Amino acid sequence: MKRLLTTALIGLAMTATHAAAADRRVELPLQELLDSPQAKEAGIDGSVRFYLAGQPHPAAASKMGEDVSNKKTNGVGKSDEEACRWVALSVLKAFQESARARGANAVIDMVSYYKKNEFRSATHYECYAGNIMSGVALKGTYAKLGK
């Protein structure tokens, strides 16, 4: 009986979490995030530059493959914008580390890629915010850009 009750409670909790997670679409400007003090605090140091699809950038001397970074964060007690900015910084930090490991100095042609659905904007990224969880997924190409 105790086992049945525990299983039922776990199932109920999982259903509630799923229902409350990532249900509001939010668009936020990438450059504003990159220029923020929070970006510096998160370790986004400018050694790797980020360009959304359609955003002009210097010519790529070489491209080093495409990647996706998909992160989630706790949204409890945070505004949608605050949670989305926090999780987007985690995505950018992961791209920065991977770019450095590959010898790239940029991630270009970035698109939002939440649940494998592309959203393209030359200025904004997409986030899905919920009462419990918020998530950002970006897809981009590692590149070595000229100055």
Residue 1 within a domain: no
Report the C-alpha dihedral over residues 129, 51, 68, 25, rounded to 10 degrees. Answer: 20
Residue 9 within a domain: no
- Domain of 121 in residue numbering reads as 22-145
| pLDDT, tens digit (0-9, with 9 covering 90-100), for 108-131 | 999 999 999 999 999 999 999 998
- Our count of domains for the chain comes to 1
CATH number of residue 58's parent domain: 3.30.110.70
Please state the pTM of the whole predicted model: 0.83
Q: 3: which 2 tokens?
A: 């086992």
Q: Is the pLDDT of residue 98 over 70?
A: yes
